[in-house]
Amino acid sequence: FIDPGYFVWCGSVTKSTNGKYYMLYSRWPLADGFESWPITSEIAVAVSNHPGGPFKHVKVALPSRGTKFWDGSATHNPTVVQHKGKYYLFYMGTSSNVTIKKKEAYTNNWWQYRNTQRIGVAVADHPDGEWKRLDHPILDVSADSTAHDALMVSNPAACFDDQGRVILLYKQVCKTEKINGGQVRFGVAFAKSPLGPFVKEQKPIFEMNDGGKDWMVAEDPFVWFQKGSYLAIVRDVVGKFTGDSGAWALMVSKNGKDWLPSKHPKVIGSTFFWEGGIPGASKLERPCLILDNKGAPFYLYGATRADKAQTLSFNVAVPLLKK
C-alpha cells in the first residue's frame, strides 16, 4: 500500500462486519523527511475488498488537534482491536510547541518531540467512522525517575484474552543525563477495560539472561491471544531470538509477563523477497498479522523503506501458505 505524497508506516488491519478489510496506518508528508514522524505523523484509514490489497486511502482518523491536547502534534503506531461491536485504536501521541525545521532530525528540538510520546486509545463503531479520543493518555510515564519508562512510552500492542482482560505491550525508555534517555525496553500492563486503568508490571519483557547490556533487544510487537496463550511477533533487533538481526521472532507466554521464543521462532528473515525472488531494499518492520475465522493466520503485514536514502516507505502484505 502506497499513499502518494506521504511516507506510510505501521499498518494494523482488521476485517469489518461489511466484509471489507481496513488498515489503520501512519502517514506524514514526503516533503517533511522520513524522520518527521514525531512531529507531523497522522493516523489514517485505508480499505480493500481483499486482505492482500490493493488498499485505498479513505480518510484521516486522528489528525493533529493542537498542543493543548496530549496528542496534539502527531499520532503514530496504530493498533486496532475489535471487541464486542466496537473498534479500539491504540496509538502513540506527541505534543510540543518547540519550533523545528523541515527534515530536522536527532537534534535537541527533535528529541523534545520524541520524548512527549504517550499512549492513548480512540473508539469507533466502524473503522471508517468517527474515532472518539480521550483527553488523557491511557498509559503515561512512571512518576519514579528511576523507572524503565520514566522518559517516554510508545509502540502499543494490545489484545483481549478469553476473560475480556486487556494486555498492553509498550516501548519504554528510561531517563539518563542525556536528552534521548537510556536503554529501550518493552513493558506490559493489564486492564479490565480498554479505556483503563492499566496496571503496569515493573519488570521488562522480551529479555535474555545476559545482563541486558544491549541498547534495544526487541521492537514493534504484535500480540494476540489463542488457545490459552499469549503470542507476539517482535522485531529481533540484534538477533537474540533468531540469530538474524532484524528478523521477526515469534514469542510465547502463558501469563503475558514471562516470554520465551517459540520452538521455531523465525517468522520472516531480515531480508524479505518480492514475487519473483527480488530482495527488498530494507527490512520489514511494524508487524501485523490477520487471522481467518478459524483462528489460522493467513496474512502478514509490515512497513518498509523503498531505498537506503529513505525517500519513500509503504506497507507490504505477505500471504501465508496453509500446510
Give residue 323's pLDDT: 65
User: 211 pLDDT exceeds 80?
Assistant: no
Specify if 68 maps to a domain: yes
Q: Tell me, yes or no, whether 143 and 264 share the same domain.
A: yes
Number of domains in the chain: 2
Tell me the average pLDDT of the chain: 96
* Whole-number percent of the chain with pLDDT over 70: 99
* 293 or 44, greater pLDDT: 44
What CATH number has the domain bearing residue 8? Answer: 2.115.10.20
SS3 content of the chain, % helix, strand, coil (to 5): 5, 45, 50
Q: Compute the average pLDDT of residues 216-241.
A: 96
Q: Tell me, yes or no, whether 132 and 7 share the same domain.
A: yes
Q: Compute the average pLDDT of residues 77-98.
A: 97
Q: Tell me, yes or no, whether 247 and 222 share the same domain.
A: yes
Q: Compute the average pLDDT of residues 197-221.
A: 89
Specify if 320 maps to a domain: no
Specify if 297 maps to a domain: no
Q: Compute the average pLDDT of residues 35-54.
A: 97
Give me the domain span that covers residue 12: 1-137
User: 158 pLDDT exceeds 70?
Assistant: yes
| Residue 109, phi then psi, degrees to nearest 5 | -65, -45
Beta bridge partners of 81: 88
Q: Tell me, yes or no, whether 173 and 73 share the same domain.
A: no
Q: Compute the average pLDDT of residues 55-84.
A: 97
Cell digits of residue 252 = 510465547
Both ends of the chain: CA-CA distance in Å? 27
- Tell me the pLDDT tens digit for each residue of 9-22: 999 999 999 999 99
Q: Tell me, yes or no, whether 164 and 37 share the same domain.
A: no
Q: Tell me, yes or no, whether 94 and 157 share the same domain.
A: no
Last residue of a domain, one of 137, 160, 180: 137
User: 250 pLDDT exceeds 90?
Assistant: yes
Give residue 275's pLDDT: 87
How open is the CA angle 270-300-322, to the nearest 5 degrees? 105
Contact 156, 150 (CB under 8 A): no
Last residue of a domain, one of 94, 116, 137: 137
Specify if 29 maps to a domain: yes
Strand order in the sheet with 118-124: 74-83, 86-94, 118-124, 132-133
Last residue of a domain, one of 119, 137, 155: 137
Specify if 286 maps to a domain: no
Q: Tell me, yes or no, whether 104 and 163 share the same domain.
A: no
Q: From 53, 44, 48, select the one nearest 18 (Cα to Cα).
A: 48
Q: Which amino acid is at 18?
A: N
Q: Tell me, yes or no, whether 128 and 197 share the same domain.
A: no
Specify if 317 maps to a domain: no
Specify if 28 maps to a domain: yes
Q: Compute the average pLDDT of residues 257-268.
A: 96
Q: From 182, 166, 177, 189, select the one nearest 118 (Cα to Cα).
A: 189
Q: Tell me, yes or no, whether 94 and 55 share the same domain.
A: yes
Q: Compute the average pLDDT of residues 302-310.
A: 94
Give residue 294's pLDDT: 85
Q: Which amino acid is at 59?
A: K
User: 210 pLDDT exceeds 90?
Assistant: no
Q: Tell me, yes or no, whether 202 and 104 share the same domain.
A: no
Give residue 209's pLDDT: 74
Specify if 282 maps to a domain: no
A 10 A CB-CB count for 29 gives 14
Q: Compute the average pLDDT of residues 288-317.
A: 94
How open is the CA angle 91-241-301, to the nearest 5 degrees? 40
pTM exceeds cut of 0.85: yes
What is the spatial distance between Cα 107 and Cα 97, in angstroms, rounded to a whole number?
15
- Tell me the pLDDT tens digit for each residue of 110-153: 999 999 999 999 999 999 999 999 999 999 999 999 999 999 99
Q: Tell me, yes or no, whether 5 and 129 share the same domain.
A: yes
Strand order in the sheet with 218-226: 218-226, 229-236, 247-253, 260-268
Q: Tell me, yes or no, whether 11 and 128 share the same domain.
A: yes
